[in-house]
Amino acid sequence: MKGIILAGGRATRLRPLTKITSKQLLPVYNKPMIFYPLETLLRAGIRDILIIMAPDYAGHFLNLLGSGKDFNARFSYEIQDEPRGLADAFKVGENFIGDDNVTMILGDNIFDYDFTESIASFERGGKVFAKEVHDPERFGVVEFDEQKNVVSIEEKPESPKSRFAVVGIYIYDNNVIEHAKSLQPSARGEIEITDINNIYHEKNELKVELIDGIWEDAGTFDSLLAANNYWAKKAKEEGGQNG
Ligand code: G1P
């Protein structure tokens, strides 16, 4: 299983914080934001990790993370010249993925959940994760039937059919590369991860697991603040505030 952290984009919603560096390098309590998704992958046993970055501050990621030696892992890097969508990660990462399966996590998605079992038990198709939220219209939204089978997945629907948001970690088999190549850009000009999920869903190859624990998509001032507050409290509770 390979890992990808997608840390592209311009993060205009977080200006001026993101005028001089990438969103994924901003502090979340005592660590740069990207450490959280990185630790999520490492905790699940993934050691071979590609970091996909926007061009502007790519050097900052290299300075921070290096070869991966300090993390007992191996890091590779690719530049995504334009924010072409989440599904573009599988095209940018094609050579890195090779013939393997891949887990992709968004560089601004912060979880307090252990994905080890979900990754270890993955065999084929796609496996994504959902969590109940109060503002599902901001996300990919999954609708279930009474047996908890997936009925539909819609990207940022105006009238969400449920409160279950698809969170920013995705496990796919190697077919994801071909699926990504087959996509056309959506109305916002991006190739959408939701379209990938719908390809797997139509083939009856998509599983959705519910997660608990905190999940923040730290792309707004409020969610960034919430993530900082959560991890500050947790670090203090665990007595680790001084590192
Ligand atoms: C993206 C996905 C969306 C998903 C969300 C999770 O949204 O398109 O399906 O629910 O990440 O953070 P974006 O961050 O591009 O608005």
Q: Which residue's structure tokens are 């519910």?
A: 210
Could you give the CA distance from residue 23 to residue 13 in angstroms, rounded to a whole number? Answer: 10
Ligand 1 contact, 197 CB (< 6 A): no
Question: Structure tokens of 29?
Answer: 């309590």
Strand partners, 110: 216
Strand partners, 132: 164
User: Measured from the CA of 194, which atom of ligand 1 is nearest?
Assistant: 9
Give the pLDDT band of residue 238 (cuts 50, 70, 90): confident
In terms of C-beta density within 10 A (0-12 exposed, 13-18 middle, 19 or more buried), how is residue 55 classed?
exposed
Ligand 1 contact, 193 CB (< 6 A): yes
Average pLDDT in the 72-97 region? Answer: 96
Give Cβ neighbours of residue 82 (< 8 Å, ≥ 6 apart).
Answer: none
Ligand 1 contact, 139 CB (< 6 A): yes
State the pTM of this model: 0.95
Summarised one tens digit per residue, pLDDT across range 203-213 is: 999 999 999 99
DSSP state of 7: E
Is the pLDDT score of 34 beyond 60?
A: yes
Give the pLDDT band of residue 240 (cuts 50, 70, 90): low
Q: How many residues does the chain have?
A: 243
